[in-house]
Amino acid sequence: MESVEGETRTDVEARGSEGPSVKIKVLFFARARDLTGLTDMPLEVSSGSAIRDCMSKLMATFPSLEEIRTCMVLALNEEYTTESATVKDKDELAIIPPISGG
């Protein structure tokens, strides 16, 4: 690892950021996929963030998701969850809107 006047590159990079962060993968299904135009996307949030923090960031990026916000189901790593759950690095968050069919 290179050093810059006694600091390692990692030290310099860490100091330049706002603190540790985690990267998750967000999966969009059905109407959520229609509203975002995506099947999935990476999302970076601060370490210790709850799903509600992820959702706030997603709503800011995709305001059209507000249409299904109150009726969507969330899954974290293939398990249904609530917005209070904490995300960890490499987690998968699925946005599942109500699905109807016949």
Residue percentage of the chain with pLDDT more than 70? 79
Count Cα neighbours of 16 within 13 Å in the Cβ-side half-sphere.
Answer: 7
Q: Is the pTM of this model over 0.85?
A: no
Element at 9 (helix H, strand E): helix 9-16
Question: Do residues 65 and 58 touch, judged by C-beta distance below 8 A?
Answer: yes
The yes-or-no verdict on residue 5 having pLDDT over 70 is no
When pLDDT is cut at 50, 70 and 90, the band that residue 99 belongs to is confident
Give dist(CA 95, CA 29) in Å, integer. Answer: 6
When pLDDT is cut at 50, 70 and 90, the band that residue 3 belongs to is very low
| 27-73 tens-digit pLDDT | 999 999 999 999 999 999 999 999 999 999 999 999 999 999 999 99
State the residue for tokens 């999302």.
43
Strand segments, DSSP code E, in the chain are 3-4, 7-8, 21-28, 40-46, 73-76, 79-81, 92-96
